[in-house]
Chain A
Amino acid sequence: MVVSKELLIVNRLGLHARAAAQLVNTANQFTSEITIEKEFEQINAKSIMGILLLAAVCGSRIVVTADGEDAEAALMKIEELVNDGFNES
C-alpha cells in the first residue's frame, strides 16, 4: 500500500538536528519505505543526512510518501510529529 501527504513544517528551526533525529527515529519504527520530497528533491526518511540536506526551513512544504504494510500508521505518526512542531519549545 502506498500513501502520501503534503505537510507544512511549522517549527521555527525547521528540520534541524534535533527534529531530523526525531524524524529518522520515527521512520525507523516502521518497515515501510518512507520518502520525503521537497521541491524536486527526494530523500529517504530513514537517512539523517538526507533530511539535513533537504534543508527544510520553517514554512516549507514537504511530501511524505510511505510504501509498505504499515504505510498508513507510519504516515500518521510522521504527520503528528511534523504538525506538533517536533515538540520544540
Chain B
Amino acid sequence: MMVSTKVDIPQDTILVGIGTSPGIAIGESFSLHRPRMSAVPVPIHPDEVHAEVEQFLNAIQEAKNQLNEVRDNVTDQRLIDHLYIIDTHLLILEDDALVEETIRTIEKNLLNASGALQQTIQKFQKIFDGIEDEYLRERRSDVDAVGDRIQYNLAGEVRQSLKDVDRKVIVVAHDLSPADTLQIDRDKIIAFVTDVGGRTSHTSILARSLGIPAIVGLESATSLVPRGVPVIVDGINGNFILNPSDATFQEYLKKKQEYEYQSSSLLAYSQLESVTKDGYKVRLNSNIERPHDVTVSKEQGAQGIGLLRSEFLFMGCAAPPDEEAQYQFYRSVIEEMAPLPVTIRTLDVGGDKFVPEINLTDEANPVMGLRAIRFSLKERTLFLVQLRAILRASFHGSTQILFPMVTGVEETRACLSCLNEARNQLLAEGISIAEELPVGVMIETPSAVLVADMLAKEVDFFSIGTNDLVQYCLAVDRGNEHVAYLFNPLHPAVLRSLKMICTAAEKENIPVSMCGEMAGDPFYTLILIGLGIKELSMSPFSIPRVKRVLREFERSEGLKLIEKLMMLSTVSDVTHYLEKEMFQKMPTLFTPPEI
C-alpha cells in the first residue's frame, strides 16, 4: 500500500549505504524522530540539591523499568540470544561509577542532574576513546545509549518507540539502539535503514538474525526522507531508493519476487547431489573461520570444509593463542564435520600483528612482504605450535593441511620438514595423531604456477586461491580504485595459469581444489568444470547457487567452452563469449552480454 504524499524529492533518488542484511523491501517510510537530547547544565542552589538528586534517581529507575519492559517483551527466539546487551545496559544503570559519581557532582559542583550526568558520561567517553582494542572501544556506544536514555527521562521527553508502529513500514532512523532493534516486530517493520553504523554493529547483526533487509551508513537519510514517502530498500546492494517511478517500482517488485523465490527454492538444492548431467562429480566445500560456521555449512549442503582460516583465532589477541587453545578450536570443527574432511590453512597474515619486534608497517609493499608462510617459517616456534595443534586435532576426524603463499619447492620442503618435526615431537611424547594427513599448497603466486609441475611432485594436493592469484598475476591491487578495473579472472593470463596448474596436477595425479571468489560465482562454474577442478570451496551460502548451475551442465560442455576461451586474446572477448554461452544455456539465471 502506497501513501502518496506531496514531496519535493525527485523521482528515483538513490542513496547508497552498506547493505548489511540481504533482501528487498518496498513500502512506506517511517522516520523515527529521535533528536539527540543535549544536556542542559544549570547551576543550582544548595537547597535544590536534594530534589535534583531525587530527580536523577527517578530518571535512573525509569530507565531500568523501560529496559526491563523491552526485555520482558522479547519473545522472538532469534532475538533472545542478544538480550545480554540489555543486561549490560541495566548493569551500567546500577554502576556506582555512574550513579554515585553523578550524585557527587550534583552535590559538590552544585550542578543540575542533566549537567552532572553529562560530565560523568564525557569522562567515560574520553577513557573509552583511548582504548586500543577496536571491539572494546566500541563499548562506548553502550554507555552513550544509557546516557541518552537518562537524559530523555530527565527532560521528561517520551522517546518515540518502534513499538508504537501500527502498520507495515520501513523505518528510517539516524541510529537504532539495541533496545530499539529488539523491539522490532517483523510483521510491521519490513526493513530499516540508518545514517550511521557498520556491518558489525549490534543493529546489523540483529537485522540478519531477524531476516529483514537493512542498510546502514546512509549518512543523510533522516534529513532527506520525510514520513510516508514510498521507498525501496535493496539490502543486497545497499541501495535506498526514494520516490520510485513506476518503472523502478516494477523492476524492484520483480527483483523482490525473484530473491524470495530463489532463497526458498535454493535451499532445496542443499540436499541434492553435486553432479553434472553426465555424472561428473564436483565436491562443494565451504570456507569458514568460526566454529559456528560449521552448522551453516551443513545446512547449505557443504561436503567438507575446503578452507578453515586460522587467522580468526589470532585476531584481537595480544599474544598468539597457545597450542591447547588452537587444538580445541581445530578439534571442535573437525569433530563436528566428521566424517567429512576439513582443510586447515596455516596462518595467512602479515606478522606484525603478533610479534611486536617485527614492525612491518613500514614495508613499502606489504603484500609482497613478510607474510603467510614466510612469516611462519621465520617464526618457527610459533609455526611448530600451530602444526602440533593441527596434528593433535587430526586424530579426531578427516583432516588436511594447507600452506599459503608458497612460491617454490624450497619453501614447500621447509614446511614439510617443520611438519615432520612437529609429528616426531608428538610421537615421542606418545600423543596420537592421524595416520593419514594429506598436505597441500596454495597456488596463488605466478612463481608457484610456473613450477606447478615440480610442486606437484612434493605435495598431495593443490588449492588455487584466485583472489591473490589474479592480483599477483596481473599486478593489480584491487583495493586501488584507479586500477581495480583491471582485476579480472577472465584475463587470458589467468586462464592460462589455471590451465597450467590443472595440467601439472593431472600429470602427477593429485587433486586440485579452488577456494577464491571465482569458485563461489556460478558464472564461472562451467569453466572450472572444464578445467577439471574437482573441488570448489566457497562461502556456505553460495553452495546451493553453484550446485543448481552445475546440475544443469555436462562435463563435455565445460571442456568445449574452455577450449574456445583459451583461444581468445582479450578480457572483453572472453567475457563476451562466456556471457553469451551462459545466457544461452540458462537464460533465467544469466544476463546476455551488452552489445
- Chain A interface residues (CB < 8 Å from chain B): 10, 12-18, 20-21, 24-25, 44, 46-50, 52-53, 55, 57-60, 89
Contact = CB atoms under 8 A, between A and B. Distances in A.
Contact of B316 (A46, A53, A57): A57
B88 A13 contact: no
Given A17-B88, A20-B91, 17 more contacts: A10-B325, A16-B139, A17-B84, A18-B88, A20-B88, A24-B91, A25-B87, A44-B96, A48-B92, A48-B95, A49-B98, A52-B128, A53-B131, A55-B133, A57-B318, A58-B316, A58-B318
Contact of A16 (B92, B136, B313): B136
Nearest to B178: A17
Contacts of B128: 52-53
A89 B291 contact: yes
A86 B295 CA distance: 21
B85 A17 contact: yes
Contacts of A53: 124, 127-128, 131
Given A12-B317, A17-B142, A18-B84, A47 B136 contact: no
Nearest to B318: A59
Nearest to B324: A10
B484 interface: no
Contacts of A57: 133, 136, 316-318
Contacts of A52: 128, 136, 139, 142-143
9 contacts: A14-B133, A16-B136, A17-B142, A47-B95, A52-B139, A52-B143, A53-B128, A55-B132, A89-B291
Contacts of A48: 88, 91-92, 95
Which of B92, B132, B136 has most chain A Cβ within 10 Å? B136
Contacts of B313: 12
B319 interface: yes
Given A10-B325, A16-B136, A58 B143 contact: no
Contacts, number: 80
B415 to A, nearest CB: 26
B483 interface: no
Contacts of B132: 55
A62 to B, nearest CB: 12
Contact of B84 (A21, A46, A55): A21
Which of A52, A55, A60 has most chain B Cβ within 10 Å? A52
The 3 closest A-B pairs by CB, nearest first: A59-B318, A59-B319, A48-B91
Given A17-B88, A55-B132, A50 B97 contact: yes
B292 interface: yes
B135 interface: yes
Given A16-B139, A17-B142, A89 B317 contact: no
Interface SS of B by simple majority: helix
A13 B131 CA distance: 14
B91 A21 contact: yes
Given A12-B313, A17-B139, A55-B136, A49 B291 contact: no
A29 B317 CA distance: 30
Contacts of B91: 20-21, 24-25, 48
Contacts of B292: 89
Contacts of A24: 91
A60 B325 CA distance: 15
Contact of B87 (A21, A44, A59): A21
Contacts of A55: 131-133, 136-137
A24 B318 CA distance: 23
A24 B84 CA distance: 13
A59 to B, nearest CB: 4
Which of B84, B137, B313 has most chain A Cβ within 10 Å? B84
Nearest to A48: B91
Nearest to B290: A89
A13 B312 CA distance: 11
A35 B312 CA distance: 31
A17 to B, nearest CB: 5
Interface in B263-322: 291-292, 312-313, 315-319, 321
Contacts of A15: 136
Contacts of A58: 316-319, 321
A55 B136 CA distance: 6
Nearest to B313: A12
Contacts of A49: 92, 95, 97-98, 124, 143
Contacts of B136: 14-16, 52, 55, 57
Contacts of B98: 49
B591 to A, nearest CB: 41
Contacts of A14: 133, 135-136, 316
A58 B317 CA distance: 5
A12 B131 CA distance: 17
Interface in B62-94: 84-85, 87-88, 91-92
A12 B128 CA distance: 20
A18 B135 CA distance: 12
A21 B133 contact: no
A12 B133 CA distance: 12
A48 B131 CA distance: 16
A81 B292 CA distance: 21
B19 to A, nearest CB: 25
Nearest to B329: A12
Contacts of B95: 47-50
A47 B97 contact: yes
Contact of A13 (B92, B96, B135): B135
A64 to B, nearest CB: 18
Contacts of A20: 88, 91
A17 B128 CA distance: 13
